[in-house]
Amino acid sequence: MKISHWTGLLGAMVCLASPLAQADTAPAFNSGDTAWMLTSTALVLLMTIPGLALFYAGMVRKKNVLATAAQSFAVTCVISVVWMFAGYSLAFTSGSGFIGGLSRFFLQGMGLDAVNGLAPTIPESVYMTFQMTFAIITPALIVGAFAERMKFSALLWFTALWSLLVYAPIAHMVWGPGGWLGGDGVLDYAGGTVVHINAGVAGLVAALVMGKRIGFRHDAMHPNNLIYTLIGAALLWVGWFGFNAGSAVAASDRAGMAMAVTQIATAVAALGWMFAEWIVRGK
């Protein structure tokens, strides 16, 4: 063997054994997936502030507009903090079939190159924040069930406790590693169970417990500004692209199909509602 061959072989061995080569073990994130998930996260957050804030504020009485909008804003703040210190860990780390562990308590161990096995092509910080927006909008949806009837301080306590005691366990059981419902074959692509059924049942129970509004069927309770509601609904429509297509957790063919279905299904549903109104009103 020529001396140049020996030299090349020796150089390759030195490079492989060097500390620099051994330390280069960071995961290879996909920049396209990461960019799409950053965008999806912003779109889902848009659904709560200002989407739901305007949607609900337009349907309440004028004197409660600011309070109702502020509730969505406050829910966003409270859940962001609760999710950071315990919610994410309880929902998306390994534990039992019903609840996760505390390995990410206060996001400990989540460095720049950390990754969650449920989303291996993007940084865990992005995945954590994306799931945070789901955790935010779920209790924000419940607000519509007791609008004009709950104290602001009580709302904050209810939201924080409900997120830890109800949302996090349900999210873990359906989406988390080793979750009981997910392991039993339950499919939930974009929150039908974790978000909508969960929020719907909680809203119904909250409405039944709190009872009717004071003055119901006696005082005028007309919505103050349905333009706000229309704008809020439009923002929710736009945000759904992040909600549904973002649930593919990648810039992939599944994300593209989810986006197409979201647009078509929403348009058909809106046309069906308008047609039903036309039939009922005879116009």
Closest C-alpha to 229, from 49, 43, 59, 63: 59
pLDDT of residue 146: 87
DSSP 122: S
pLDDT of residue 67: 93
pLDDT band at 215 (very low <50, low <70, confident <90, very high): confident
Burial class (CB in 10 A: 0-12, 13-18, 19+), 79: buried
| Cβ atoms within 10 Å, residue 159 | 25
pLDDT band at 283 (very low <50, low <70, confident <90, very high): low
Quote the pTM value. Answer: 0.88
Rounded to whole angstroms, how far apart are CA atoms 237 and 268?
Answer: 13
What are the structural domain ranges in the chain? Answer: 29-281
**16-61 pLDDT tens trace:** 333 433 344 567 899 999 999 999 999 999 999 999 999 999 999 9
DSSP for 144-204, written as a single string: GGSTTTS-HHHHHHHHHHHIIIIIHHHHHHHHSTT-HHHHTT---SSSIIIIIIHHHHHHH
Q: Which amino acid is at 111?
A: G
Closest C-alpha to 196, from 63, 69, 47: 47
pLDDT of residue 84: 97
Least confident of 9-13, 19-23, 173-177, 240-244: 19-23
**186-199 pLDDT tens trace:** 999 999 999 999 99
Rounded to whole angstroms, how far apart are CA atoms 88 and 100?
Answer: 9
**Locus of tokens 């409405």:** 207
In CATH terms, is domain 29-281 a member of 1.10.3430.10? Answer: yes
Give the CA count within 13 Å in the CB-facing half-sphere of 246. Answer: 26
**63-109 pLDDT tens trace:** 999 999 999 999 999 999 999 999 999 999 999 999 999 999 999 99
**227-280 pLDDT tens trace:** 999 999 999 999 999 999 999 999 999 999 999 999 999 999 999 988 888 888
